Amino acid sequence: MENWTGILRLDAEVRNGKTVARNVYFQGAYKVMRPIYHDESGQACYYILNPGGGYLDGDRYRIQLTLDKQTKLTLTTQSATKIYKTPKSLAYQETEIDLKEGSYLEYIPDPIIGYRDACYKQKTVIRMKKGAKLLFSDIITPGWSPDGDRFSYNMLQLINEIYMENELVVYDHIKLSPATQNMDALGYMEGFSHLGSMIVIGEETDPELIDRLYQAIHKDTKEFKVGLSLLPTAGFTLRVLANSTQTIERIFAECHSIISREWFNITPSFLRKY
């Protein structure tokens, strides 16, 4: 086995109408809290903790998650993923997720914060069976810099692969490297400092849902830019450029609320962390 700084494995199943853990294992700089049930739906919420406080030079993290049939689970973090200076070797995280028929995963980690001279790579591979649903988001933010530079990190790279019935349906690759890219150029950050991405997959996705989402988030403002696109499979991706984490979180929350009402007739729970 490779030398991992932190490992988390979680297998979930339905028992007596509730999603519970069948197996939980964590080691090193990863821990997971006992599940929280915010309502009567049986959906479990797990918080990942990193006692180390941040990712350092050469740190390597691995998450493996399996949801059995009909399970419903929210996975989030207790705080932001802070990437500090990595002078010798990049920090790395890989996540493997397996979603069985009828399962639903909300994977909503807190923002990734890249500080001065930080280099970070993240790879997420999600394998879904037909009938599974997914709501997955990421937010990239710059860390504080003494000279006020908005992009003092060296590189932040996020790779997402999603397979439906073993067929690749989503390949999403974001690589921000300020030393070699004009971050304000078209197709990069375009004058903004924060980037949010949300991927939603579910067979209930239809043009009416996309229209409702667009009407809720599209505004004539210079505060943010937003793009909404259909995927080759039943689902969509949402991109947001803004200058604050709170702006992106507000837009994501609006979309999350609409999806929860449309798909499950419920209101998403507030993930209290502060």
Q: What confidence tens digit (pLDDT) does each residue in 140-166 have?
A: 999 988 787 889 999 999 999 999 999
Residue 26 has pLDDT above 90, yes or no: yes
Contact 244, 194 (CB under 8 A): yes
Residue 249 has pLDDT above 80, yes or no: yes
Using alpha carbons, select from 182, 196, 187 the residue that is nearest to residue 151.
182
Task: Compute the distance between CA of residue 251 and CA of residue 141 in angstroms, rounded to an integer.
Answer: 16
pTM strictly above 0.85: yes
Q: Could you state, in order of their start, the residue ranges of all structural domains in the chain?
A: 6-264
Task: Compute the distance between CA of residue 196 and CA of residue 226 in angstroms, rounded to an integer.
Answer: 9
* CA dihedral for 252, 175, 4, 115, sign (positive or negative): negative
% of residues, the chain, pLDDT over 70: 97
User: Quick one: pLDDT band at residue 1, thresholds 50, 70, 90?
Assistant: very low
Please name the residue that has the structure tokens 């790779």. Answer: 159
Q: What is the pLDDT of residue 145?
A: 81
